[in-house]
Amino acid sequence: MLNSGTDMTANDDDDRELLEMYLDDELSPDQLDQLRARLATDPAVAAEVENLRSERQLRAAMFSSLEGGEEAVVERALAEVHSLDQRHQRRAGHVRKLRYAMAAAALIIVGFLVGWMGATGGKSNASASEPPYRVEILDESGQVMAVQKFQTLEKAREFSDDLQQWQVRQERLLNGQVTVHSAKY
Amino acid sequence: MAETKGDLFEKAVRLHSRRLLAIARAIVGSAAAEDVLQQAILNLYQHRERYDWTQPAGLMRRTVVNEALRLLRQPRMSLVADDHPGRSETPVGGMIQAEMIQQVRKAIARLPEHFRAALVLCEYENMSYVQIAEVLDASVPQVKTWLHRGRRQLAEKLKAFADERKLKDAQ
């Protein structure tokens, strides 16, 4: 049987746990039937349920007393959220502009062509006095954007290698945004 | 036009913040509760695209409880500060004295953090043991134990207060 206050036996403690579960609506149907039978016949158990109920009522009042004042907190939190959002959008805008600028720069050198322009070959407008080797810088559609001429093949290759390395660096920076459309030697 | 996740998020925050702040106050105390709620809102916002905002109560409650417990686990954070003035009128009106409620708050503040969290979820949020176990990442028997011990410790503390009060009145 349940005693009042805190002078409890082990059985009382088990009983209290059972009664708490009853008030928490956590008893199985069998447990509920058994407890209802006890409540009908044992006034001490019924009294303990009332005691636990009043303790719970006090806690409910305490929890309710913690409510209120949330408006200011919510407004501050949402202001912070909006500010984060704006910062994020500004940063995204900057990154986008930077990417466009880098992509534009990279597209100028999407391809290069090293060719021999000697008297027996090459382009029709090449004259015999011009340096025989040239590196053409092509855009993505294959149009010649710039031409650099060289007296030797080694120098032309060296320049073209430098260009290629530069382009690789650009591609890495752009994280795959630019592809090489032609790389002819 | 359909509401965006951002709109639904803001609506959910406004709808549930009253109870969420009370939960945070019950677990970490009033001084830190605002930080807990604010951080929880920011965390939810950052991942808003992932979540279903049609039923956000459980998600928001779990985020606040986790944030409160995380804060308590930080080295310097310990006991609940009890400076929230509380509402002037309680649901049971004059039947329960404000002083008694203050004592309950003080007593709850002295409980271990998981006892407090389990109690507020059970008795304030009316959650089942299974749901509480899920939020607190614990087993159902653990939750039962926390609730039972928490309630017993509270009863003992309040009994000590009542005895002290009787003694003072008698003098």
Alpha-carbon torsion, ordered A158, A160, A164, A166, to 10 deg: 80
Average the pLDDT over each of A94-98, A150-154, B102-106 and give the range with the smallest value. A94-98
CB contact under 8 A, A62 and B20: no
Percent of chain A with pLDDT over 70: 61
SS3 content of chain A, % helix, strand, coil (to 5): 60, 10, 30
pLDDT at A8: 47
Confidence bin at B97 (pLDDT 50/70/90):
low
Q: Answer yes or no: is the ipTM higher than 0.95.
A: no
Q: Give A79 to chain B, closest Cα distance, Å.
A: 10
Specify the pTM: 0.64
What is the mean pLDDT of the segment spanning A98-115? 54
| A64: closest CA of chain B, how far (Å) | 7
**Site of tokens 């979540």:** B51
Residue A58: count of CB within 10 angstroms of its CB = 21
Instruction: Count, in order, helices (H) and strands (E) of chain A.
Output: 5, 3
Cross-strand bridge partners of residue A7: none
Q: Is A155 on the interface with B (CB under 8 A)?
A: no
Q: Does the pLDDT value for residue B94 go beyond 70?
A: no
- A96-107 burial, b at 16+ Cβ within 10 Å, e below that, comes to eeeeeeeeeebb
Which chain B residues are within 8 Å of A66, Cβ to Cβ? 21-22, 25-26, 30, 84, 86, 105
Interface test with B, best of A7, A13, A62 (most B CBs within 10 A): A62
Cβ(A110)–Cβ(A139) under 8 Å? yes
DSSP-assigned beta bridge partners for residue B92? none
Q: Are B27 and B117 in contact (CB under 8 A)?
A: yes
Q: What is the pLDDT of residue B86?
A: 53
More confident residue, A106 or A14: A14
Distance CA A59, CA B167 (A): 24
What single letter denotes the amino acid at residue B28? V
Provide the CB-side half-sphere exposure for B152 (13 A, CA): 17
- The confidence score (pLDDT) of residue B4 equals 84
The more confident residue out of A93 and A158 is A158
Q: pLDDT grade, residue A91 (50/70/90)?
A: confident
- From B66, B26, B17, B21, select the one nearest B43 (Cα to Cα): B66
Q: How far is CA A166 from the centre of its chain?
A: 31
